[in-house]
Amino acid sequence: MPQPIEILFQDDRALVVNKPAGLPVYAGRAGGPSIEDGFPAWRRGKTGPWAAHRLDQDTAGCLLIARKKAFLLEAQAMMAEGGKAEKIYWAGLRGVPDGPAGEIDAPLKKLTQGKSWRMAVQAQGAPARTSWRLLGTQGGNALVEFTLLTGRTHQIRAHAAHLGHPVLGDPVYGDGQGKMCLLARRLALPLTPAIDATAPPPAHMADFVERCLGTL
């Protein structure tokens, strides 16, 4: 890996690592650095570890790595059941949503065109719900906290665009200018003992986040 990966939480069952923006979880066909480069150092048995979920390459923050297969299955089942695992994201949005908070209830369906694809709000899509609250504003843009109530692919990115305020820098649902401002801020699983980790804003979001948090 090109840089050390910060560990936000660890025990014999799992780790939560702070995935840098721009670093994929798995290496692509062309190879290159990825989070899985760290797997040998994090292994605690003959097999594994395994990423318990995925984060987009350009998303930073909390990524759960399972060290035991039984824990992997337990964590994935918990994250698949809406509301059991707490997954909170911070996002810089283009423009400012109306009101201090709300909920987006908009089904999502994958649309493919040639080699590209995106998630679109469609009535026949899979149920998708996201709650949000405004954390602050800066320069006509907003810092918003999203809580996933379901776990669809690109859910926050597609729902933010549906709200009329795409994630800053989003190359698929927004203008793609600059780095994408999306952080997997907190991941909490109500197990015994609990797993709970919070990721700091990445460098490209830090100044914007600080300015926004000072406005409310």
Amino acid at 77: A
Q: What percent of the chain has pLDDT over 70?
A: 97
Q: Are 56 and 22 in contact (CB under 8 A)?
A: no
User: Tell me, what's the pLDDT at 2?
Assistant: 52
Q: Where are the domains of the chain?
A: 6-213
Q: To the nearest whole number, what is the mean pLDDT of the chain? A: 93
CA-based radius of gyration for the chain: 17
pLDDT in tens, 86-120: 999 999 999 999 999 999 999 999 999 888 999 99
Distance from C-alpha of 42 to C-alpha of 64, rounded to nearest angstrom: 12
Global pTM?
0.94
pLDDT in tens, 128-161: 999 999 999 999 999 999 999 998 999 999 999 9
C-beta neighbour count of 46 within 10 angstroms: 5
**Which residues, at least 6 apart from 119, have a Cβ–Cβ distance to it below 8 Å?**
108, 109, 110, 111, 125, 152, 153, 154, 155, 157, 158
Q: Both tokens of residue 18?
A: 């702070």
Q: Both tokens of residue 196?
A: 């709970």
For 6-213, give the CATH class: alpha beta
Distance from C-alpha of 81 to C-alpha of 162, rounded to nearest angstrom: 24
Distance from C-alpha of 104 to C-alpha of 130, rounded to nearest angstrom: 5
CA angle 206, 211, 212 (to 5 degrees): 100
Distance from C-alpha of 20 to C-alpha of 202, rounded to nearest angstrom: 7
Residues that are catalytic: 56
User: Tell me, what's the pLDDT at 83?
Assistant: 67
